Structure 1
Amino acid sequence: MCPAMFAFPDKLKRHLQIKHSDVVKSYSCHICSLTSPYLTNIKRHIQKHHETDNKKKKVICEDCGKSFATQKSLEYKIHMAYHQADKFSCECQILFDNRKQKVHHMQVVHLKELLGCDKCLYMCMDPSQLINHEKNIHQVEKPKQVFICDICGAEYKSAGSLKEHKERKHYPKVEECPHCMKEMPAIDIKRHIRKNHTDSGICNVCGVQAKCLKKHMKAAHTPKHLAKYKCEFCDKGFPYKAGLDRHRMNNHLKLRPYKCRYGCESAFNDSSNRNQHEKKIHGVTFNAKNNNIDDIKAE
């Protein structure tokens, strides 16, 4: 005996027909050949596969009968392009390997209804789609402009950077900082002043008028044991390497490497003292670009 139980008589009746009867009633789709013993399956099938297609696809291709949602869709455009290619002939005398090649050639070269990639057979309607395709598939990027120095070949990303490079490396105009007398390329003067001399004021520890309070505090009031640069000849320490070098040169090595550039016998332990000497004795700080030693000696 069958143990199956049902809540509704029609379910029981259908069960008896399918499981316990020699003749089973079958339902079939009136559009295609699908069959099923259950009517609900056939209804669901029609709703899913036939009614939806008929509602969405309203444009019918006159050449083959295939339906599309709209004439504006890329699917429809490409489909019709194939039919056009079959009827189209040109005088380019190209032997195509396949149908898609002919479609691509016809659209890109002749009809120009679709946009085509020049590296493959991809076609689309919108320029942005073509740009994305080339970037993602072929990794095509707009070449970056490079600015090359015609003297040394150095490369830079901007014209401004190239100009700065030339002014610093090839045509250096040397100027003297009005605060510390330090010489440097003219292009660096503003940056130097901003970095080193914009914090002027009176020190609240010793009362000195400092051109740069931050540097003064570090140089004059840093305890010796905390100084970064230690002298190997004595117990002194300095917060800056330049201070250590100057101390060693003046007090231990007794060197005078900075000679007067006007040709006199004067020599100094640092460039600022040399510059002050040139300005005081010779009238102006020496500039190799503007001064000629032979002319000076001749005078």
Structure 2
Amino acid sequence: MKRHIHRAHKSKTIPCDVCGNMFVHKSQMQKHRQDVHMADYTHKCDMCDLSFKTDNTLRMHKRAVHIKDYNFHCDKCGKGFFHMKQLSNHCQVEHEKVPFTCGVCGKSYRCEQSLKNHLPTHDPNYKKKEYYCIICEKVFASRTTFGMHKREHKIGKLTCVCEVCGKVVSNPGSLRNHMDIHRGVKSYKCNVCQAGFSSASCLMTHKRIHTGEKPYACVICDKRFRQKPPLTIHMRTHTGEKPYSCDLCDQRFISKSAMNSHRCRGPADDSTNEYVCLANR
């Protein structure tokens, strides 16, 4: 009995840095990684510890992550690109002659309207317009940068703010639907298993469990997913990208959940309740 409790119920503290699954012992995690993530991955990168199913995928990884072996280079600035279309777009944007030039300062623009917008800046009485964000109170000098900033808040012309979580939506109807999440109202029912959901999009994603539909496919290994976020994380197993790093050690991870699994709260008697790094325990 004691043996069973020790094996089955001991705290799992060792995370897989690929998928985030937790294990009691490091050897279990290593075996899992070899069996699940490395099966049939016989093409090993000689510049890191990643392996791939095909030689072509390995070459793509090395070019993207290690070598930066570009096929095409701009003859004007030397910048490299993998594809001719990327080079063409670069030359068109960066190096083609701009036809509309300011007669006062010589600054050039690609379209006439941009030049017209610029000309008033030479008027002695010109006052530069400022764009004010009502959400975070930041001020922007141009309409373009302000527009980009608004997309960060996802506000556009949104006017209704949730008093619970601060989310901003476009109309009272959308706000009422959003509030159902906080109230626990699940108006959208699955006609197969009767499970309830707070939004139509959540119901649609759930139904894929019953239909087997997996519309998001990996372009490298053809593995398919029901949602886009898991595909994004999966692609990092091919590229080697690990955007999340532990702030207590030098380990990096492909997903936020894998990083959080790597860390845990301090011991129960720790009054600070701060995170501790499992690697340093």
The two structures have a TM-score, normalised by structure 2, of 0.26
RCO higher in structure (CA 8 A, sep ≥6): 2
> Which structure has the bigger radius of gyration?
1
The two structures have a TM-score, normalised by structure 1, of 0.25
